[in-house]
A and B are shown apart, each in its own frame.
Chain A
Amino acid sequence: MARLLFTRLALFVPTLFAASIVLFIAINVVPGSAARSALGVDATPQAIMRFEALNGLNRPLVVQYTDWLGKALHGDLGTSFQNRVPVAPEIVRRLPTTLELALLAFLIANAIALPLGALAALRRGKRADFAISALATVLGAIPNFWLATLLVLVFSLHLKILPAGGYTPFFESPWKNFTQMVLPALSLGLVSSALLLRIMRTTMLDVLNSDYVRTAHAKGAPERIVVMRHALRNALIPYLTVGAVEFGFLFGGVVIIEDIFRLPGIGSLVLVGIINRDYPVLLGSALVVTFIVLTANMLVDTCAALLDPRQLRPREAGR
């Protein structure tokens, strides 16, 4: 167990380091674009030079990166070009909103995908299976930003039962927070449930056709025990792995959903960064989002390994 955690952590750190290089290169792929973007097309060469000198952008890219990384390791993600405010505290302030939204959405996605995916597999080829598969196909094709718009149209403008946007911290007013988070979380969660649902159905079908499930049936184990103890537990291992990937997609979606519902999270900060061409803000917030996605992947990988003892004892499994 400790060895497994150590291995996962040993892979995580260089991956995050490499991710920071990719993000840094992606943002600086066009030389000089930061100053031009921030100052606009009418900026004079002198103004651009002044801006680059002020923000250290006239140094070689490697120097800029190592300088930025050194500060980032000490919790300093730079200062906003626009208002000269440090980026890290702003991200910390916005983090709970984004985490709350992503976790709620992930909860909704799993609450739909797990039971329906398992049910579709248990009723393979029957009406329930086709209905659930059709639902997954439809949900998988709906853009989350369109679903968000439709939900606002119906629940906020037509029925007037949920707010169309805004944010109240959970500890300030739990009920108000809940009403404000329902629609954003549904927009992300419903769409994300489509892939998870299909994966759950497929993995459950694989498990139901396996020898050990047949053996359990042959030994006269009740259906409920076979499904809950043998099939579901083993189907969860590949499901979790794909779930981690889906969490990454879902987290990408917060950029749009936070904008639609005016949620003050990291996703909307990414947008502020790009609209204002504020590269420290963009780089800092993008790195934090990537960090969260990679952490989620690592945690889920570890959970999957804990559920599958063969991964904990590879040597014994190989014998």
Chain B
Amino acid sequence: MSAFADYSIRRHGLLTLGGVIVAAVIISAIFAPWVAPYSPYDLDVTLMLEGPSRAHWLGTDEVGRDVLSRTIFAAQISVKVALFAVAVGLIGGTIIGMLAAYCGGPVDTVLMRLMELLFSFPAILLAVVLMASLGTNVLNAMLAIGIIFIPGFARLARASTLSAMQQQYVEAARSIGMSHSRIILRELLPNVVTPLLVEAAVAFAYAVLLESALSFLGLGAQPPDPSWGNMLNTGRGFMAQAPWLSIVPGLALFLCVLGFNLLGDGLRDVLDPHLRD
């Protein structure tokens, strides 16, 4: 078997693995009420910090709630936050990036300098600062994470738009007097959307991570709503007596991020072989 074929199979294997993990997370999130054995809010103080058993496969937490059920329901919050945040970043970044590329000149300079500035902040720091002002809840976490993603998408959208603008069909559209908005929406947008969507898959993983980090710090999802981040934070207080409280949600978070990373990398390889290395 040639090295390339071997490489290709491995890469596609990883893409498939990523796809399977992502599908599992999304299905768990959507069908959580049917998949989870218990309600994530059901307390049973007689079962506090019980280890894994037949009734509670992954044990119970400090107030007797089923850890498996809470981990499954936490996927709902993570997927919801990540979806919304990536959508904010994708839409905001695409508009800014395409405008910068299409208008050029001072508009390009001002918009992209602003994007570079936002890009220079550590993401979690900017999220924390934004949430200090917006308030600590899931909706604001979505918004803060979305704002953080805008510069990355804007850079990509600008580069893709500049490249697409060199094509003859754009010149042709201009020469027949097509309006700017029609050129942007009908000629340029379809040609920049593929790399943006691939980037969105990778950003999705990072959004899940950031949401969990914010919830871990007590700034995202608030108890009793389950989030992998706030479950890990709670688990810290019981590491010696109940290590599963620290292991299970972290493992779920790790697998989710791994799945989206593999999917994003795999998609990038398939859609743009030049970026393979």
Residue B132 at the chain A interface, CB threshold 8 Å: yes
Which residues of chain B are within 8 angstroms of A152 by Cβ–Cβ distance? 239
Residue A264 at the chain B interface, CB threshold 8 Å: no
In the complex, are the beta carbons of A150 and B213 less than 8 A apart? no
Interface centre among B121, B218, B247, B254 (most CB of A within 10 A): B121
Which residues of chain A are within 8 angstroms of B218 by Cβ–Cβ distance? 275
In the complex, are the beta carbons of A143 and B133 less than 8 A apart? no
A143-B261 in contact given A252-B124, A273-B132 (Cβ < 8 Å): no
In the complex, are the beta carbons of A140 and B261 less than 8 A apart? yes
Interface centre among A202, A252, A255 (most CB of B within 10 A): A252
- Name the interface residues of A1-58: CB closer than 8 Å to any CB of B: 15, 18-19, 22-23, 26-30, 33, 37
Residue A159 at the chain B interface, CB threshold 8 Å: no
Which residues of chain A are within 8 angstroms of B132 by Cβ–Cβ distance? 27, 37, 273-274, 277, 279, 282
In the complex, are the beta carbons of A143 and B212 less than 8 A apart? yes
In the complex, are the beta carbons of A256 and B133 less than 8 A apart? no
Interface residue ranges, B against A (CB under 8 Å): 3, 6-7, 10, 14, 113, 117-118, 120-126, 128-135, 205, 209, 212-213, 216-219, 232, 235-236, 239-240, 243, 246-247, 250, 253-254, 257-258, 261-262, 265, 277
**Which residue of A23, A141, A157 contacts B240 across the interface (Cβ within 8 Å)?**
A157
Which residues of chain A are within 8 angstroms of B129 by Cβ–Cβ distance? 23, 26-27, 274, 282, 286
The tally of residues in A whose CB lies under 8 Å from a CB in B reads: 54
22 A-B pairs in the complex with CB atoms less than 8 angstroms apart: A26-B129, A28-B133, A29-B134, A137-B14, A137-B258, A141-B254, A141-B257, A143-B250, A150-B250, A153-B243, A153-B246, A202-B277, A252-B125, A255-B217, A270-B128, A275-B218, A279-B132, A289-B125, A290-B122, A293-B120, A294-B120, A297-B120
In the complex, are the beta carbons of A249 and B217 less than 8 A apart? no
Residue A175 at the chain B interface, CB threshold 8 Å: no
Q: Mask for A221-245, Cβ within 8 A of B = 1, else 0?
A: 0000000000000000000000000
Residue A125 at the chain B interface, CB threshold 8 Å: yes
Q: Is the interface of A mostly helix, strand, loop or mixed?
A: helix
Which residues of chain B are within 8 angstroms of A125 by Cβ–Cβ distance? 3, 6-7
Which residues of chain A are within 8 angstroms of B131 by Cβ–Cβ distance? 274
Which residues of chain A are within 8 angstroms of B253 by Cβ–Cβ distance? 143, 146
**Which residue of A28, A205, A256 contacts B124 across the interface (Cβ within 8 Å)?**
A256
Q: Is the interface of B mostly helix, strand, loop or mixed?
A: helix
The minimal Cβ–Cβ distance linking A152 to chain B, given in whole angstroms, is 7
Which residues of chain B are within 8 angstroms of A18 by Cβ–Cβ distance? 113, 117
**Which residue of B7, B121, B124, B134 contacts A19 across the interface (Cβ within 8 Å)?**
B121
Interface centre among A143, A146, A271, A277 (most CB of B within 10 A): A146
In the complex, are the beta carbons of B120 and A19 less than 8 A apart? yes
A248-B122 in contact given A26-B133, A137-B261 (Cβ < 8 Å): yes
**Which residue of A142, A202, A249, A259 contacts B254 across the interface (Cβ within 8 Å)?**
A142
In the complex, are the beta carbons of A290 and B239 less than 8 A apart? no
Which residues of chain B are within 8 angstroms of A294 by Cβ–Cβ distance? 120
